Every structure is written in C-alpha cells, then in structure tokens.
C-alpha cells in the first residue's frame, strides 16, 4: 500500500540570507541537500521578487513521500538546509521597492563586492608583475602578489569551504589546487593570475545571469501597488491592491495602470497591453470588455469591476510561472550536471596520477628526480587548470535563462528549459480550429429570404427576436448583426431551446423554429428550394441555420467563423522555418474545415474529431515526425496538448480560457497574435544553437588544451587564459539571445 501512495507536493516560503556573489552556488547546494534527504523525491528553490540582491524570501517546492516523511521532519530538513520555516503557502506577488541611492563606487562596492575584489586582484597582480620585471624589491613583489591572492581567493574560498563541508568536490577545488600548486613551485604570478581571472569570470558570470534575470524580474515592476477604490457614495480612496476584493469598483484614470483583472463598467479607452502580451498597438476596449492588471490605460476614464484578487491576476500567475521556469532545467543542462559530478573527481584523480606515477614508474631518473618532479607537478597544475569544466557548467543554464527571458519579454511564456529546448526541435504543428486559427465567434455573412413577402431585414428581425435570450455563439452573432443593422426590436414568447437541435418561440401568434435543415420535415414548403443554396454556403465553409414557421421556410442565415488576422502569414512562416507538416484538428464538419484550410494554406485537416481522437492523432504525428506541437485554447484541447511534445496555448492573457491556458500549456502565447508562434520557435532554435555552440567551445578547449598541458606543451598562464577566456565567451554568447529579433512578418514586407 505504501508503495502506491502518491507523492505530495508542498510549497513553503523560507527566509534565507544570501549575498549576491554566493546566491547561485548556495541555492544549488540547498536544492542538492534537500533532494538527497530520505523521502524527498524532488526539490526546487525559486527566488521571489522581493529577494533582491539575494536576501529575502525564497519559495521551496518539494515533492515527497508522506509514508516516509512527516511535516515535522520536513521542517527540520528545511531549517538545516539553509533557512527558517515561515509560512506553508505561496505569498502574494509584490513589486520590488528601490533602495536609497548611493554614489556609484559605493553602490558598486555594496552590491557587487565580488567585482571590486576581482578588480583589486588584477591591480595587485599587475603591480607585482611590474615589480618583478623592473627588478624591484622582492618584498614589494611578494606583498603585491599575496594581496592579489587574497582578493582573488576571497569569495571563491567561502564557496570552497561550503562545498568541502558537505563532502563534495567541484570546480572551486580544482582552481584552488592549481593556484596554490603553482605558488608552491614559485610561480606566484601565474597562480595569482589564475585566481584573478577565476574570480573575475565568476563575478562577470553573476552579472550576466543577473542581467538575464532582470529581463524576467522586470515583470514584477508592472504590478501596481495601489488602486483608486470607488466608494458607494461616489468618493474615492487609495488602497493597496492586496486589499481589493472581487466585486469592488476601481477608477482608472488616463495614464494609470489597471490595478487588477476585471471588466469595464463604464467608459472606453485604448489599453496598452504590451507589458503583458507583447502586442505592439493599444487595444480599444469599452463596457463589458476584460482588462488585466499591469496594463496601461490610454486617454479615457474607466470604471472597472474587480474580478480577481491581486494574488490571482494574470500578471501574478505569469510572474510565478516564469520564476518556476527559471528553476527548471533542460535535458542538456541535466546532462551537463551529471557529467560535472563525475568529471570533477576524475580530473582530480588524473592530476594526482600526473604527480605520483612518474616516480613510481621510474620515468624520472633518480639523480634528477627533484627538478623533474617539479616539472611534472607544474604540468599537472596546468592540466588541472585546463581540464576544469567552468565553461561547460555555465554555458547551458546561461543560454536557457536568456531564452526564457527573451520569450517572456515578447509575450511568450515558456514554462521551463525542457519546453524551450523541445520547441526548437518540433517538426510538425497541429492546430485546433475554433478560437485558435479562427476568431472563435461566428459572424453573419449571408441572409437568404424565401418566404412570401419576406425580405432580409424582416428575416433577421424574426431570428433575433427568437435568439435574443440565448447564450449560444450563433444566437449571439444573429442578435449582434440585427443590432448593427438597427432592426426593429421584437419580443418573442414561449421560447424553448433544445441543445443540438434548435430553438423555438412565438412572435405575434406565429410559432417560429430556428435550426439545422435536417430537423425540418421534407414536406415543409420551401425546404427543397433552399436546400441547394444551403449546400453552396456550406461548401464555402459557412455554417447555416434555417428559419421557418409551421407552414413554410422563411429563409436561411449563413455564418462563418473567420480566420484570425495574420494566420495565413503565420502558416507560411512555419513552412519557411522548416516545419514539415501543419495540420488542423477540428470537431467541425469537413466542408467548413476544408474551406478554412484553403484560405490559410494549411497542409491537411481532419474533421468531425472527438477530443480523444485529436489526442490519438497527435500521438500518431509524434510517432511519424519525432516531435510535434499542439496549439489550442487550453480548454477542450487539454488531452491533445498533454500528448504533444509541446502544448501551446494562444491568448493566455486575453481570451476567456486564459486561466486554463496558463495552467495547462507548456508554452502560452499571451497575445491573440498568431505571429508569436514562429517567433517563439525562432527564439527556441536560436537558444538551442547557442547551447550547442557553448558546449562545443567548452569541450573543444578542454579536449585540446588539457592533453597539451599534460604533455608539458602549455604553461599555466596560457591554460588560465584559454580556460577563463572560454568561460567569458560562453556567457557573452548566451546573452546574445536577449537581443534576438524575429524576422519581419510577411505582411509588413
């Protein structure tokens, strides 16, 4: 029974004090220590927005077996892992508050002491080298070199001690062994240069990763802090957004941020949704339209009814999910982590072998053993430096983080490195039709009046009177068309709706029925005459309903769910990117599906599908093409999206299915812009190319320089330059992803 007990997921908030220069290593260590605890299957540590500079609250996600662990034991693990337990819930998202301003150099020293000490290490090293070259006093030279050692080793030494105390070995140990090994042979400047470049590379790596994080954490600055609450007596009051309750009315003035998700009660304006969805132009909105926290009001005054608390807004969910995405690792990153755990001890063993084996194997003549042993020891230190996998360790996470940040900035929420990597490998894309490729709402396109004395407006008036109380999309489209044409307002009575068949009602004593042609008897007057025209409309992708009374057919109404703007260009862009197959999976009829496919240029369609049939087709595509993406609205496509390699939801911050889209999809395109799909694939492929480049560079330097160092063909200083240089190059290469620009849309050419 215990073996079948499901694992439980728990999220807690910890108060952890970490300096910026130690944050990455310490958080990784906390994760590793928790994951190694008995009963815990998985552990992740996520920085909350308030954890500025490393200090603050961190979310710890645990997956554990309740049959092996109690909550008291978990609390004990957490306390020993690096913090004190506070509350077992996710706290509300809060924006960062900027601290007091300080002079530039003082601010740099407080916020980035690792950078300051690395620079000082370089200055002291340059001074010591100058003293050596100019034949200055030996004491001055040694003092400057020792100062360089202290500055360069200061922060790495703390990390080394932290690692050794946990009985683990990593890159820090390799660097210290090489630096002090060189010093033991009298090569003080070379050892100091190693520590200087190692500390400088570590500081630069942190700054680069912080830059990528700032692109993500900029989302937190979008969260408004206060709202203008509209009181029942008409007065207003400023309150924190956390105090807003569902149903409250807030006033949004021109230029203000919308404080919470809600619906417009009064007023109209253009809303800048770019901070959330990445849409380049403001969206006109009026009464009844939905608005989102963090978006910016244009010129109009709005009254908005709050629909969600501050902790549950679309913006808050996006922030939480992006933070979770930062902590998740791609398959490549997991692979390099496993390699590093095995590789570092092997390097230490190989280094020891270079030092010990030559005397044991009599490779050194006894009379020359002292001098030659020093030569072998020097070669071993050069090998140790060259073989250290610094660039290998940082290349993948830096690229993944930059890719997630770039996608988030463009309104594309990627929920982890695994999905970022998989999206770049997709070779087939399946689409839902309604609400994904099409607008999701039918519009009246044709009015056919055939009854005696009946014209189009009269037909529309009768149909609208019957349909006015219905929530069906076709009914709403007919009513909207009647209102747009200013048809006279008629009232129907005795309205009865039968799902799947149609709707009936009475107008001025006449019993009117609206429904599919098949539900009317063949003998009904006018049915045969209108059947051919209905077939023509359906062959063009139209949906049709027939309007009739008890004696004859009055007419028919054609409706179409039009393709979204830019869908045809998006399909063409996917083919340009090398996507081998695009297919539409729909529950609609074959004629409608064929018409949509012809209009947008999609390769293939399958119609009349049930949700489970969509899922099976996605599985078949995955088998045939290797990797497939399923694009849908996140509601009725959940099974197919879960089966696909990557599930993608469209309109995660603008559609009625936004909550489901954000929760269920691997990737959410927050805007209703299908052009974001090729852009997301482009970001993913660019990030994947960067990861491959980083791996080849890191492994190439190790494979070339390490053997040369072992054979005595490379000095320590050259090994240091190549080793640290490759680390800097992979970090800078990863930052290129932040500057990725999508190719211009075809419509704009």
Instruction: Dig out the tokens for 635 from the structure.
Output: 């509601």
Selected residue with higher pLDDT from 245 and 656: 245
Selected residue with higher pLDDT from 532 and 374: 532
Distance CA 482, CA 488 (A): 8
Which overall architecture, per CATH, does domain 443-560 show?
A: 3-Layer(aba) Sandwich (3.40)
In this structure, the number of other CB atoms found within 10 A of the CB of residue 662 comes to 21
What pLDDT score does 54 carry? 46
- Decide if pLDDT at 468 tops 90: no
Beta bridge partners of 514: 503, 547
Q: Is residue 343 within a helix (H) or strand (E), and if so which, with residue range? A: helix 331-360
Mean pLDDT is highest, among 41-45, 145-149, 153-157, 547-551, for 547-551
Beta bridge partners of 583: 430, 604
- Decide if pLDDT at 455 tops 50: yes
Put residue 502 in one of left, alpha, beta given phi > 0 → left and psi -120 to 50 → alpha: left
- For the chain, the domains span 2-87, 225-259+261-307, 443-560
Active site (annotated) includes residue 432: yes
Residue 518: band (very low, low, confident or very high) from pLDDT cuts 50, 70, 90: confident
- How many angstroms from the chain centroid is the CA of residue 639? 21
Distance CA 574, CA 455 (A): 46
CATH match of 225-259+261-307 with 3.30.870.10: no
Q: Are the CB atoms for 122 and 196 separated by under 8 Å?
A: yes
Place of tokens 């540590």: 45
- Decide if pLDDT at 549 tops 60: yes
Distance CA 242, CA 271 (A): 22
- Decide if pLDDT at 17 tops 70: no
Distance CA 76, CA 394 (A): 32
In order of 10, 187, 250, 302, 304, the CA distances from 239 in angstroms are: 32, 65, 10, 17, 15
- Decide if pLDDT at 558 tops 80: yes
Catalytic member of 170, 432, 561, 622: 432
In this structure, the number of other CB atoms found within 10 A of the CB of residue 48 comes to 20
What pLDDT score does 602 carry? 93
Q: How many CA atoms lie within 13 A of 417 on its CB side?
A: 19
Place of tokens 């490759």: 726
Q: Are the CB atoms for 208 and 114 separated by under 8 Å?
A: no
Span 14-23, average pLDDT: 51
Distance CA 249, CA 307 (A): 10
What pLDDT score does 447 carry? 92
- Decide if pLDDT at 341 tops 70: yes
What pLDDT score does 680 carry? 92
Distance CA 200, CA 499 (A): 70
- Decide if pLDDT at 331 tops 90: no
Q: Is residue 538 within a helix (H) or strand (E), and if so which, with residue range? A: helix 527-539
Q: For domain 2-87, give the fold.
A: Alpha-Beta Plaits (3.30.70)
Selected residue with higher pLDDT from 221 and 507: 507
Residue 50: band (very low, low, confident or very high) from pLDDT cuts 50, 70, 90: very low
In this structure, the number of other CB atoms found within 10 A of the CB of residue 413 comes to 26
Distance CA 267, CA 447 (A): 34
Q: Is residue 11 within a helix (H) or strand (E), and if so which, with residue range? A: strand 8-16
Instruction: Dig out the tokens for 427 from the structure.
Output: 């070779």
Q: Are the CB atoms for 255 and 297 separated by under 8 Å?
A: yes
In the chain, what percentage of residues exceed pLDDT 70?
A: 72
> pLDDT digits over 691-732, tens only?
999 989 988 988 998 898 888 888 877 887 887 788 888 888
- Decide if pLDDT at 5 tops 80: no
Q: How many CA atoms lie within 13 A of 202 on its CB side?
A: 27
What pLDDT score does 714 carry? 83
In order of 374, 506, 593, 604, the CA distances from 644 in angstroms are: 59, 49, 22, 18
Q: Are the CB atoms for 669 and 650 separated by under 8 Å?
A: yes
Distance CA 194, CA 716 (A): 8
Please provide the DSSP assignment of 117-171 as one string.
Answer: HHHHHHHHHHHHHHHHHTT--HHHHHHHHHHHHHHHHHHHHHHHHHHHHTT---H
Span 417-426, average pLDDT: 87
Map residue 59 onto helix, strand or coil. Answer: strand
Span 376-393, average pLDDT: 80
Place of tokens 């075809």: 746
Minimum mean pLDDT range among 16-25, 270-279, 468-477: 16-25
Span 513-519, average pLDDT: 87
Residue 277: band (very low, low, confident or very high) from pLDDT cuts 50, 70, 90: low
List of E strands, 155-242: 226-230, 236-240
Mean pLDDT of the chain: 76
Minimum mean pLDDT range among 184-193, 308-317, 654-663, 693-702: 654-663
How buried is residue 464: exposed, middle or buried, by Cβ count under 10 Å (0-12/13-18/19+)? buried
Global pTM value: 0.64
In order of 223, 274, 398, 490, 650, the CA distances from 319 in angstroms are: 10, 15, 19, 49, 18
In this structure, the number of other CB atoms found within 10 A of the CB of residue 450 comes to 20
Selected residue with higher pLDDT from 272 and 551: 551
> pLDDT digits over 66-91, tens only?
667 666 776 666 666 554 333 333 33
């Amino acid at each position: 029974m215990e073996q079948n007990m499901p694992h439980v997921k728990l999220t807690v908030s910890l108060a952890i004090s970490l300096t910026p220069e130690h944050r990455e290593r310490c958080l990784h260590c906390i994760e590793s220590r928790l994951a190694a605890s008995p009963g815990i299957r998985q552990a992740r540590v996520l920085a909350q927005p308030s954890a500025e500079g490393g200090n603050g609250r961190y979310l710890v996600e645990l997956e554990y077996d309740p049959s092996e662990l109690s909550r008291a034991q978990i609390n004990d693990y957490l306390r020993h892992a690096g913090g004190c337990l506070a509350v077992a819930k996710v706290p509300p998202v809060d924006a960062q508050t900027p601290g007091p301003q300080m002079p530039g150099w003082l601010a740099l020293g407080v916020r980035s002491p690792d950078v300051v000490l690395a620079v000082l290490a370089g200055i002291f090293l340059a001074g010591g080298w100058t003293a050596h070259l100019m034949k200055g006093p030996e004491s001055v030279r040694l003092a400057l070199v020792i100062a360089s050692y202290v500055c360069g080793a200061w922060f790495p030494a703390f990390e080394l001690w932290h690692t050794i105390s946990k009985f683990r070995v990593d890159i820090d140990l390799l660097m210290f062994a090489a630096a002090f090994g060189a010093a033991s042979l009298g090569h003080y400047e070379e050892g100091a240069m190693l520590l200087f470049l190692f500390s400088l590379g570590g500081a630069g790596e942190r700054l680069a990763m912080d830059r990528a994080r700032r692109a993500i954490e900029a989302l937190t600055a979008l969260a408004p802090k206060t709202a203008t609450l509209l009181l029942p007596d008409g007065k207003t009051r400023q309150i924190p957004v956390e105090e807003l309750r569902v149903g409250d009315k807030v006033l949004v003035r021109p230029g203000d941020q919308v404080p919470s998700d809600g619906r417009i009660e009064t007023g109209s304006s253009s809303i800048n949704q770019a901070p959330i969805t990445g849409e380049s132009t403001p969206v006109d909105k009026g009464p009844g339209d939905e608005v989102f926290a963090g978006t910016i009001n244009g010129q109009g005054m709005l009254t908005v009814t709050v629909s969600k608390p501050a902790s549950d807004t679309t913006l808050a969910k996006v922030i939480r999910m992006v933070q979770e995405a930062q902590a998740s690792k791609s398959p490549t990153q997991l692979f390099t982590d496993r390699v590093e755990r095995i590789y570092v001890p092997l390097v230490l063993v190989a280094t020891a072998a270079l030092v010990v084996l030559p005397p044991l194997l009599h490779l050194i003549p006894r009379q020359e053993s002292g001098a030659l042993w020093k030569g072998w020891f020097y070669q071993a230190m050069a090998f140790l430096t060259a073989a250290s996998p610094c660039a290998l360790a940082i290349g993948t996470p830096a690229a993944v983080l930059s890719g997630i940040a770039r996608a988030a900035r463009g309104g594309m929420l990627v929920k982890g490195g695994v999905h970022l990597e998989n999206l770049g490998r997709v070779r087939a894309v399946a689409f839902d039709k309604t609400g994904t490729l099409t607008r999701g709402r039918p519009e009246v396109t044709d009015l056919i009046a055939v009854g005696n004395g009946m014209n189009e407006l009269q037909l529309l008036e009768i149909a609208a009177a019957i349909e006015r109380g219905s929530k069906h999309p076709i009914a709403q489209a007919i009513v909207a068309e009647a209102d747009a044409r200013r048809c006279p307002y008629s009232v129907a009575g005795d309205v009865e709706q039968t799902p799947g068949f149609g709707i009936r009602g009475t107008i001025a004593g006449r019993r009117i029925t609206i429904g599919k042609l098949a539900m009317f008897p063949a003998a009904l007057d006018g049915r045969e005459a209108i059947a051919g025209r209905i077939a023509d409309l359906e062959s063009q992708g139209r949906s049709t309903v027939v309007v009739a009374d008890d004696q004859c057919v009055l007419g028919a109404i054609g409706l179409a769910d039009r393709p979204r703007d830019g869908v045809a260009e998006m399909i063409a862009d996917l083919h340009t990117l090398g996507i081998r197959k695009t297919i539409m999976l729909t529950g609609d009829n074959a004629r409608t599906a064929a018409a949509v496919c012809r209009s947008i240029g999609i390769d293939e369609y399958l119609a009349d599908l049930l949700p489970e049939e969509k899922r099976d087709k996605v599985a078949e595509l995955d088998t045939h093409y290797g990797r497939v993406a399923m694009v849908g609205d996140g509601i009725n496509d959940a099974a197919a999206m879960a089966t696909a390699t990557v599930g993608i939801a469209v309109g995660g911050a603008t559609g009625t299915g936004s909550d489901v889209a954000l929760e269920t999809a691997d990737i959410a395109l927050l805007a209703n812009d299908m052009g974001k799909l090729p852009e997301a694939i482009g970001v993913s492929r660019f990030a994947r190319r960067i990861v491959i480049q980083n791996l080849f560079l890191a492994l190439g330097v190790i494979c070339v320089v390490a053997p040369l160092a072992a054979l005595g063909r490379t000095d320590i200083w050259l090994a240091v330059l190549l080793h640290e240089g490759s680390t800097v190059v992979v970090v800078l290469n990863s930052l290129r992803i932040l500057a990725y620009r999508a190719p211009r849309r075809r419509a704009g050419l």
